[in-house]
Amino acid sequence: MLTKIIKYMEAQKYQVFKDKNEMNIVYVEGMNTDGNLNADEPNHFNDVRMVIGFEGQLPAIIGRWQATTEPGFHYTDNPMNPNGAARIAFGQYRSWQVGIHGMSEPHEALVQVDLVKVHRDYNRDMIRTGDRIDNGFFGINQHHGYSHPEDDIHTASAGCLVGRTRSGHSEFMKMIKGDRRYQLDRNFIFTTTIIPGDKL
């Protein structure tokens, strides 16, 4: 699975950071943490968030957690934007810095600081096909999912990239802050890649 992810990224001409203590943040939609694909049912934490590093020229998964790259039923049916809920477009973006997410339970997260593309789910069918693409600043952050159950995203995502558990997200943040580039510059902007599992 890891080899397929790296080959896919290279085939798409995405950046793959291979220097020592540089982290690659990757989300694979419709994939379990064991690397197997799933049915990608709506309103489930059935995507995987991972951090990939390199030991010499060999990639290694440093961390992996249950996640969602899509909003659940709540924000699909009650979108924050009248044009529809946001579903991030597959691709790679250099768009996040360490900051604070949320008002009800503020916590350290990666917050959007540059443009990303999203599909607007105006017809509320919970798929991207045919949806209009919107490019801009939408608060597409990388935060935790309040430890909601696997089968209910609930209000944890209106379009953000969300790790399901508080503890897993804490591990994720600690790990990426160990990136040598962040250690040199606390304003470092992180790159993240979002991949459709069925393309692997």
Q: Strand pairing of 85-88 and 91-101? A: unpaired
Would you state the pLDDT for residue 172? 98
Which pLDDT score, from 0 to 100, does residue 141 have? 98
Q: What is the pLDDT of residue 180?
A: 98
Residues 6+ away with beta carbon under 8 Å from 64: 33, 48, 49, 50, 51
Helix (H, G, I), strand (E, B) or coil at 53: strand
Question: Would residue 11 be called left, alpha or beta, if left means φ above 0 and alpha means ψ between -120 and 50 degrees?
Answer: alpha
Whether the predicted pLDDT of 194 surpasses 90? yes
pLDDT tens for 96-107 read 999 999 988 999
Q: Mean pLDDT, to the nearest integer, of 9-31?
A: 97
Residue 11 has φ and ψ, to the nearest 5°, of -65, -30
- What pLDDT band is residue 57 in, cutting at 50, 70 and 90? confident
Q: What is the pTM of this model?
A: 0.97
Q: What is the mean pLDDT of the chain?
A: 97
Q: Residue 108 belongs to what H/E stretch?
A: strand 107-112
CB atoms closer than 10 angstroms to residue 154? 14
pLDDT at 56: 86
Report residue 17 as tokens.
């950071």
- pLDDT bracket for residue 181 (50, 70, 90): very high
